[in-house]
Amino acid sequence: MTSSHKTQVALITGGAGGIGKAIAETLAAKNITVVISDINTEKGVQVASTLEGLFVEADLSSAEGCRTLVVQATQRYGRVDILINNVGVQHISPIADFPEEKWAAMIQLMLVSPFILTKLVWPLMAQRGGGRIINMGSIHSHVASLNKSAYVSAKHGLIGLTKSTALEGAAHGITANAVCPAYVKTLLVESQIADQAKTLGIPEAAVIEQVMLEPAAIKRLIDATEVAELVAYLCSDKASAITGSAFDIDLGWVAR
């Protein structure tokens, strides 16, 4: 799916920072035009401008926002070849105290919006004979952690969506895979460290050592560029036979 010219277009949600930004930078370096959306408009505009791409301000928690993103991308470039469903949020709370509206909002953003975006780009990919869909899962696509019921539910659901998309997309040359990292050095993880420390009543250093890295075989956080390189491979022609899979980049977290 790579080319010497910028003929392909990748749509990346949550692309202003963290994993999304690393993916945008990696794909742009491979001559793929990037369209990013993010709640942080200032940083999103900056990243898109630096990468000679497009930033779209859209509320992905609504179907209309998803349509806005795809419409603006196609109006500018006329195609979407790669969809990276990366946007995510976190809320740490026991089930008994979890606000229902917050729980539903997280599912909407991290599971429903990837479905809607997949549906919207589907005909664009099919008419060109193929495409790549990457859903950013997590170790929490496989296992659960305390006080993360919404996040875990959404990430588990993404695996099911990935498999269904792969089966239906095969006839159209569309592949779908999930990438499931353990804890990556991002602002989202930094906020989780602070939240977990408060909830569990332990120092932040203890959260990293006892919660995030204790189950891992390799005792370090992951760099976002490591995840981005895996995503870029799955978007390439070399990965055309790979679909319906979940790739763990997890320091051996779920090997137990």
Asked whether the predicted pLDDT for residue 189 surpasses 90, the reply is no
Residue 4 has pLDDT above 50, yes or no: no
Within-domain flag for 210: no
| C-alpha distances out from residue 224 to 80, 166, 186, 210, Å | 24, 25, 7, 22
Give 13-60 pLDDT, tens digit per residue: 999 999 999 999 999 999 999 999 999 999 999 999 999 999 999 999
Structure tokens at 56: 């779209």
Residue 208 lies in a domain: no
Are 99 and 109 a contacting pair, CB within 8 Å? no
Task: Say which of 77, 151, 183, 233 is annotated catalytic.
Answer: 151
Which pLDDT score is estimated for 5?
59
pLDDT in tens, 51-109: 999 999 999 999 999 999 999 999 999 999 999 999 999 888 999 999 999 999 999 99
Q: Which domain holds residue 93?
A: 9-182+223-249
Q: Are 236 and 27 in contact (CB under 8 A)?
A: no
In a domain, 195, yes or no: no
Is 89 among the domain residues? yes
Residue 53 in any domain: the answer is yes
183 is catalytic: no
Nearest alpha carbon to residue 11 among 63, 61, 64, 60: 60
The answer to whether residue 190 is domain-embedded is no
Q: What is the mean pLDDT of residues 185-192?
A: 78
Q: Report the run of H or E that residue 73 belongs to, with start and end.
A: helix 63-77
Answer yes or no: is pLDDT of 187 > 80. Answer: no
Give 190-204 pLDDT, tens digit per residue.
777 887 788 788 888
Instruction: Report the pLDDT value the prediction gives residue 1, as an integer from 0 to 100.
Output: 47
Q: What is the average pLDDT score of the chain?
A: 94
Domain contains 147:
yes
Residue 216 falls inside a structural domain: no
CATH number at residue 100: 3.40.50.720
When divided into structural domains, the chain yields a total of 1
> Over the stretch 124-156, which tens digit does the pLDDT of each residue have?
999 999 999 999 999 999 999 889 999 999 999
Asked whether 15 and 24 are in contact (CB, 8 A), the reply is yes
**Is pLDDT of 174 > 80?**
yes
